[in-house]
Structure 1
Amino acid sequence: MTTATTHTIPDTGELNAIASATAAAVSANPAAAVAVFTASATPNGRVGSDIALGTHTVSVDEPPALGGDGSAANPVEYYLAALLSCQIVTYRFWAQRLGIEIGNLRASAEGDLDVNGFFGLDGQTRPGFQEVRVTVDIDGPATEEQYRELQRVVDEHCPVLDLTTSPTPVHTTLNVG
């Protein structure tokens, strides 16, 4: 299970200022609404890779049962990390936007992956997660109803959750030689 730590969230209002500045920039230039993110990968070890993400680099590997050395998190673990970090950011952002105070926030996730799909052992099983379960623990002075409304808004606006729940076109170009 992947877990984010629990700690008290300071409300500085900075996220609302960022949202206001972004809204003004997009209003003045609608093309400013589109942000392009890039990544590139090179092999490392038997099945691992090094991924460049802007100015950052992460390593990816598989556990020994899947051919790796277990030297780093595997791709689906990074997906869970991406989902949880996006949930945390989106909770914090929308809590400020909605004026809902958060005392403590913690998220965890687990996913079921059937290797029949990855290894092509049957034609029925998809290669990705069969199901992902996210648990969010939140507290503070707001009412349960306010936190449930916050969850609804977060689920509606979380980009990584959207990548999972809505089809995203992916176009691959293969350059040979």
Structure 2
Amino acid sequence: MSTAQRTQKNSRQPATEVPPGEELLATADDPQPGLRPYLEVKRAALLAREERAKTSPGILPHKLRAQTTAESRSGVRRVRIRHHQIISDSPLDFAGYDLGPSSPEIQLGVLSSCLTHVFLIQAARLRVPLDALEVEVEGVHDPRAGKSGFEQVPVYPHQIGYTVRVTSPATEERIRELHEAVERECPIYNLLINPQQISGRVVLTGSPREV
């Protein structure tokens, strides 16, 4: 090995020694270490968050809020969540402009995003090394649902399934352990398999009366 090669290799070594048994989450000796450095940062944030929860007994559940407005003339749905916005729209054959995904598509995207995030959280917690991660969610939404001859077809997305593609040096047993932890902890996955009751009301603008 040349001096330049030795120098390059040494420059990629972790700055601090990794404790025994935790080597797998260390940055790989590779110019493209994938998700492993991020998982170290995620783990530190996760442990700090859990420590704050222990030492701050006044922490309460926080309310989530999303608001959607139908844009005049176009009917495009503008979803506002904190300081973020998502555009939802219909396809061209349904009086839309296809400027964004439909609501059922967004739902599948939310599940995909949540599963991905919880895979990262649990990988950091369990010290399972990941170099790449992708979660694909599929489902069926039938526009004929509820109509004559299709009364038994659900009006909601159904036959939902997901596929996780992982690049990791971990054993199959550790990946199974990770998967089980994800399905146990993922909030949107558990919301969908254990649906909640939803209350609703309609208020006429300018009137205190509910319809």
What is the TM-score normalised by the length of structure 2? 0.73
The equivalent of 1:38 in structure 2 is 65
Distance 1:30 1:170, change over 3 A: farther
Match for residue 181 of structure 2 among 153, 160, 166: 153
Q: Determine if the alignment matches structure 1 residue 20 to structure 2 residue 56.
A: no
Q: Which has the higher contact order (CA 8 A, sep 6+)?
A: 1
The equivalent of 2:35 in structure 1 is 9
Larger radius of gyration: 2
Residues 53, 59 of structure 2: 8 Å contact kept:
yes
Q: Which runs of 4+ in 1 moved over 4 A?
A: 119-122
> Which deviates the most, 101-110 or 15-24?
15-24
Q: Determine if the alignment matches structure 1 residue 143 to structure 2 residue 165.
A: no
Q: What is the rounded CA distance, in whole Å, between the counterparts of 1:174 and 1:120 in structure 2?
A: 26
1:72-100 C-alpha deviation (Å, 9 max, x unpaired): 11111111111111111111110010011
Which structure has greater strand proportion? Answer: 1
Compute the displacement of 1:60 (Å).
Answer: 0.4
Match for residue 197 of structure 2 among 166, 169, 172: 169
The equivalent of 1:4 in structure 2 is none
Cα-Cα RMSD: 2.1
**Unaligned 5+ runs, structure 1:** 1-6
Residues 36, 129 of structure 2: 8 Å contact kept:
no
- Sequence identity, in percent? 22
**Unaligned 5+ runs, structure 2:** 1-32
Tell me how many residue pairs correspond in the alignment: 170
